[in-house]
């Protein structure tokens, strides 16, 4: 079966939530880079930002699949953050300044999410 007009609103909510989570998570990681290392705020911003970025990637993974089969959407939603965090872990361990890698990754995620948040796409169309 194809998508119906009432399903378009749910997709928009997931998209908006993923974009906001990505923007806030990216901002948190960039702010953690500029705060002193010994501060508790930096120690709190990194895990909170990681959770927000994971939620953003999960939401993006859900939107990548156009099928109505929910288990496939959830599988891709889980696989995307797993793949991204795996690659990030390899880059993070091999870098000479891991906190710079955190800041660059946060900045890229935040910028992409912020640009997508302000972008007005085409209105979703109903299909029969």
In the chain, what percentage of residues exceed pLDDT 70? 83
In the chain, where the domains are located: 5-118
Average pLDDT, the chain: 85
- Please say whether the beta carbons of 75 and 61 come within 8 A: no
**pLDDT of 98 above 60:** yes
Angle at 18 between CA 17 and CA 19, to 5 degrees: 90
CA distance 13 to 17: 6
pLDDT at 66: 84
- With a threshold of 0.75, does the pTM exceed it? yes
Q: pLDDT tens across 36-82, in order?
A: 876 788 789 999 999 999 999 999 998 888 888 889 999 999 999 99
Q: How far is CA 49 from the centre of its chain?
A: 10
């Amino acid at each position: 079966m194809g998508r119906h007009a009432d399903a378009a609103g749910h997709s928009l909510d997931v998209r908006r939530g993923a974009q906001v989570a990505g923007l806030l998570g990216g901002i948190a990681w960039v702010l953690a880079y500029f705060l002193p290392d010994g501060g508790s705020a930096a120690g709190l911003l990194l895990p909170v930002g990681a959770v927000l970025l994971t939620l953003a990637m999960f939401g993006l993974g859900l939107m990548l699949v156009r099928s109505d089969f929910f288990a496939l959407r959830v599988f891709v939603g889980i696989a995307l953050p797993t793949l991204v965090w795996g690659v990030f872990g390899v880059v993070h361990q091999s870098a000479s300044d891991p906190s710079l890698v955190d800041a660059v990754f946060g900045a890229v995620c935040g910028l992409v999410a912020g640009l997508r948040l302000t972008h007005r796409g085409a209105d979703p169309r109903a299909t029969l």
